[in-house]
Amino acid sequence: MVDQLPKPEAPRLITVANQKGGVGKTTSSVNLAAGLAMLGAKVLVVDLDPQGNASTALGAEHTSGTLSSYELLIGETTAEQALQPSTAHENLFCIPATIDLAGAEIELVSLVRREYRLHDALRGSGFLAEQGFDYVIIDCPPSLGLLTINAMTAVDEVLIPIQCEYYALEGVGQLLNNISMIRQHLNTSLHISAILLTMYDARTKLAEQVATEVRAHFGDVVLGHVIPRSVKVSEAPGYGQTVLNYDPTSRGAVAYLHAAREFATRGDYQPAESTGPIGVSPETAQQLESER
């Protein structure tokens, strides 16, 4: 029996974002969600990536024509109608993504409140209050388009997965600048509440060096628990499962469960000493951008 977590006072809404591909963004979205669900929280994953990998891992139907985040964004369905239970856990739910979402960027351009369509569907409609979700995790595509902007205007928190490999910080400076822009012009409450180190290989000096560098840049916003490089984590998506369902005793599954507990118990982390809006100083953001 897994110890249950206390519920947050209000629903926590988190976008998992990184403009660099292959860093474990979707993997972290679904496994953190599954971990939180196993710890007793009621969790919703909103899949905003047209590839629909998060939907697959959560066992949600996402063939073309299924009510999904696409219909939600263009106003043809409600969040309640698009909601599906996940096969991963009874506390876990999903609004899936279908291939129809690939054309949504163009369709959103002409719509009223195009940057706030997801915000209005989740927060403006009373949906979250009615459903009683503790956490909402949004998995978005790696590019900064209207889908990602909708994700970031709908939430308060951003979680950034960073892989412990070469070029780990590539593009992070640009991501910080984009978050700052969105905070300044569209969503004043947006901030980075966690950074998760993924693909950590304790056998290599490189992984240790990258982890040290990331912690030096970002400080305590980086979660203490890291996700190891794991065959089981890599295999699980091929079976349409989270690693916590595929092999709950594996190192990867245990690491995600610990990371989920840490993320939940420390709450919505906002460094009081930060001179910038997102947990790092403007100088650090500029330095990271110059390293791209």
Tell whether pTM > 0.85: yes
Let me know if residue 7 belongs to a domain.
no
CATH of the domain at 247: 3.40.50.300
Contact 73, 148 (CB under 8 A): no
**How many Å apart are CA 275 and CA 277, to the nearest integer?**
7
Torsions phi, psi for 162 (to 5 deg): -130, 125
Range of the domain at 219: 12-290
Let me know if residue 4 belongs to a domain.
no
Let me know if residue 1 belongs to a domain.
no
Question: Helix, strand, or coil here: 17?
Answer: coil
**How many Å apart are CA 103 and CA 50, to the nearest integer?**
9
Torsions phi, psi for 85 (to 5 deg): -75, 145
Task: Give the single-character DSSP code of 6.
Answer: P
Which residue from 159, 211, 227, 198 is spatially nearest to 18, judged by alpha carbons?
159
pLDDT of residue 271: 66
The count of structural domains within the chain is 1
**Neighbouring C-beta atoms of residue 8, cutoff 10 Å:** 13
Let me know if residue 129 belongs to a domain.
yes
Mean pLDDT in runs of 10 for the chain (292 residues)?
Answer: 78 90 85 96 96 94 93 96 96 96 91 95 90 96 90 96 86 88 95 94 90 92 95 89 95 96 92 50 56 50
Let me know if residue 68 belongs to a domain.
yes
Let me know if residue 162 belongs to a domain.
yes
Contact 236, 243 (CB under 8 A): yes
Cβ-Cβ contacts under 8 Å for 94 (sequence gap 6 or more)? 44, 45, 46, 47, 54, 55, 58, 60, 83, 84, 85, 86
Let me know if residue 5 belongs to a domain.
no
Contact 139, 45 (CB under 8 A): yes
Which residue from 82, 94, 39, 118 is spatially nearest to 240, judged by alpha carbons?
94
pLDDT of residue 277: 42
Let me know if residue 59 belongs to a domain.
yes
**How many Å apart are CA 21 and CA 175, to the nearest integer?**
13
pLDDT of residue 2: 57
Contact 202, 231 (CB under 8 A): no
**Sign of the torsion angle spanned by Cα atoms 111, 109, 77, 24:** negative
